[in-house]
Structure 1
């Protein structure tokens, strides 16, 4: 833990999402409270430059100082803007509210803000960023070590969460590549293909890109969840992000739709302060604890290589129709289950032993000692499953650098040696 006077926060956590109304501020404020109550010195910064409201959630009607003063240089340091809250160990930097021009601060003011965020005297800084995919929003979000994407199980929210994550990934790669960045194209283009193209032209740059992606620190948090099966939606998005954007975005947990949370917002008292023992309190504290245990040093080391990039207008486009159909297909699959199996891959009657890393009713992720190509068909025998089911598969995603492959099941499993399907096998695949 840090002592006052030390610089650079131990960790920066950003809370974002593709659209407003999904509960980013509720998640950010309560996670900040949980980390402060765990003994950390926390600064919660309202980085929603166009619609700040965190101060309202803490019962503060009109803060004496806010981010607008810093951006206009009325205050020279963010330290001058932070105010104490009723929670010991938690300070708040209120947002700018409806101040003309603040929502678009410009390159210079944005860089000054980012520098001061990095020098805040705190153990943890939590950034509540705005909605949308503008560069101002995404650059604030990408400043963090751990990047939470908040969404609800509604299709429109999941769609926008994917678009937001894609914008953050592409902006990250764009800034590494600088003038060489060419990251436009179809919504369903895979980042892996672009990395391979970069490797052919500049292997060192491609290596830095892969390292940056490995340390990106994306995490998913569900909100306003009504049924247990809604969790499959969050896991479906996690799989799609991995397959198309080449980054891990595990699901940290989800909050249930709750009258208590609704009333806490209306009453201007954060949920954790009024609902002890509530299931959502348990989830929020679990997520906060996981964030505090993350190996941030490793993430920072992976992202260490940075190159300046010119500022450009616009941002990644919203998810198009084709990507939306793919997302629906992912959501139709059951949740993947992590496994550690060996299996037999039959390639033109030549058996090869492979490792199965996870599996669902729709497909699996395998590690193969021999190269496979996208679109290649084969048979996969699950030797460790009762009945040793034999499944026809097609390779959908190939990551040659790590020998990882995503495969889709294209027919019902046919047990080898005329074995009947067991209850365990049925449960596994359905």
Structure 2
């Protein structure tokens, strides 16, 4: 008999509580179940479990706690049916003293059982904060959702949570104490605010280890979900943080979607009836269905890898990096877009004092262009360059200044130094 396919595991996190993480997790799980998938929703918010309440379930008889207390042999046996067809729930541990700080053996047992659940999709609602236990539940998944609201404090918390999760994932890639020490030494200074700088330090000592770390980053699988959005323009901050994560954390974290602030969502919590059950035609419900469809279609090539403990860590401890109240590494306004961007695929030449290089223009706007090259470009933020559009009639040339560089991905953001007819012509060509 063939091996049972692994479930598609989706983790939902976001730093501190209060951003609607459990509402996002529960409604996405419902949307995927309504699409015909066998879904199990796991409440891994140890010590503050409340998912069962959102489904109107009082005092579930089985939970993660019953597994740890050996009352059931498998997490499968600890699932609770819900009123939604195809959806089962694994309740959390509730207000049990010390629940948030389960020991290493207990954590590994829960992680192992989550990985073996018989389902098409497993959605894991992780806890708040950046303890190692929280980060390891988040690291369990190949698809990781970071939930935030447009408020600056929420954005800061979500960025710090993601940074801690990235560093934790990198640490799991260390295969021996020497690599752990090298990674810790490389993250001990402010010079490594950018993960690219950390990689450079590691690469100088161990190229093979650096290659493994790059693979972890390229497959990190983070996506941003915005919540409690009052006006459409407020969603721009999510895209800005996505670009900031690419710049400083060297990961791709596109915006999966956002959910508008809604009285109906608020009332669904009070009624203990999920939005997608009572108001399936609501605008927010449609947003959940769109995000669920995208998650089901997302390519997940690599199998899940177990979270590996690191010697000397205290159970439930917090990492030294990634405190949820730390400042953002840059002003978000620097990453906000002032003009509409238009995707293109043009060949151009980026020219400067030392010569030029052929590049691919990926997007243009009235204010600038995003370009890529096959190799890292010899430019730095603040450098002035001229972009010559070889694919366009008369090969227009626009002077600009470099505002963004991601050397690892050979990507550069160029702000045009001229306004008026020439940028408008470029945008007009992009629209056609």
- The TM-score, its normalising length taken from structure 2, stands at 0.87
Does 2:401 align with 1:393? yes
Does 2:363 align with 1:358? yes
Is there any run of 5+ residues in structure 2 with no aligned partner, and where?
175-179
Alpha-carbon distance in structure 2 between the residues aligned to 1:89 and 1:18: 29
Query: Quick one: structure 1 residues 12 and 345, their matched pair in 2 at CA, closer, same or farther if it must change by over 3 Å?
Result: same
Query: Quick one: structure 1 residues 338 and 206, their matched pair in 2 at CA, closer, same or farther if it must change by over 3 Å?
Result: farther
> How far is 1:307 from its partner?
6.7
Alpha-carbon distance in structure 1 between the residues aligned to 2:334 and 2:89: 42
Alpha-carbon distance in structure 2 between the residues aligned to 1:48 and 1:128: 6
> How far is 1:91 from its partner?
0.6
Structure 2 residue aligned with 1:222: 226
Residue 364 of structure 1 aligns to a residue in which SS? strand
Structure 2 residue aligned with 1:209: 213
Please give the per-residue CA displacement for 1:364-407, whole angstroms capped at 9, x wherever unaligned. 3432657414344322234567993513222642425x5x1323
Structure 2 residue aligned with 1:379: 386
Residue 162 of structure 1 aligns to a residue in which SS? helix
> How far is 1:319 from its partner?
6.3
Alpha-carbon distance in structure 1 between the residues aligned to 2:340 and 2:163: 22
Structure 1 residue aligned with 2:373: 367
Structure 1 residue aligned with 2:283: 279
> How far is 1:120 from its partner?
0.8
Does 2:347 align with 1:342? yes
Does the 8 Å contact 2:227/2:258 carry over to 1?
yes
> How far is 1:344 from its partner?
2.4
Alpha-carbon distance in structure 2 between the residues aligned to 1:263 and 1:366: 47
Does 2:246 align with 1:239? no
Does the 8 Å contact 1:153/1:222 carry over to 2?
yes
Alpha-carbon distance in structure 2 between the residues aligned to 1:192 and 1:335: 29
Does 2:200 align with 1:196? yes
Alpha-carbon distance in structure 2 between the residues aligned to 1:130 and 1:305: 19
Alpha-carbon distance in structure 2 between the residues aligned to 1:292 and 1:100: 37
> How far is 1:322 from its partner?
5.9
Does the 8 Å contact 1:187/1:323 carry over to 2?
no
In the comparison of the two structures, how many residue pairs are matched?
A: 417
**Partner of residue 71 from structure 2, selected from 71, 74, 77:** 74
Runs of 4+ in structure 1 off by over 4 angstroms are 5-8, 303-308, 319-322, 332-337, 382-387, 423-428
- Over aligned residue pairs, what C-alpha RMSD do you find? 2.9
Residue 128 of structure 1 aligns to a residue in which SS? strand
Please give the per-residue CA displacement for 1:239-293, whole angstroms capped at 9, x wherever unaligned. 0111111111111111111111111111000100111221111111111111111
Does 2:322 align with 1:317? yes
Structure 1 residue aligned with 2:177: none
Structure 2 residue aligned with 1:406: 412
- The TM-score, its normalising length taken from structure 1, stands at 0.88
Please give the per-residue CA displacement for 1:23-56, whole angstroms capped at 9, x wherever unaligned. 1111111111111111111110000002111000
